[in-house]
């Protein structure tokens, strides 16, 4: 199972994060890594995973889709 987080600002999805059995992987658009780190710290997202491998990569384009799928009724 993989959980996906989307990070948005002003209508732009600037980062995505994945929590799975291998650790935490985050992908940020180039120039947005600092904003991602600020948001992760503000939310306390990484605190419970302090002993889990964490990977952050800046890319020109985010992998996969950039929006959460719509909720199904």
Give per-10-residue mean pLDDT for the chain (73 aa). 80 87 87 92 74 86 73 54
Q: What is the C-alpha separation between 39 and 42, in angstroms, rounded?
A: 5
The secondary structure of the chain in percent helix, strand, coil, rounded to multiples of 5, reads 20, 40, 40
Q: What is the pLDDT of residue 1?
A: 45
Q: Rounded to two decimals, what is the model's pTM?
A: 0.77
Q: What is the pLDDT of residue 5?
A: 86
């Amino acid at each position: 199972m993989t959980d996906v987080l989307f990070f948005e600002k002003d209508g732009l999805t600037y980062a995505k994060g994945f929590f799975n059995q291998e650790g935490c992987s985050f992908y940020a658009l180039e120039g947005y890594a600092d904003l991602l780190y600020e948001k992760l710290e503000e939310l306390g997202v990484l605190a419970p995973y302090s002993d889990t491998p964490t990977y952050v990569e800046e890319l020109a384009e985010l992998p996969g889709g950039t929006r959460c799928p719509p909720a199904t009724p």
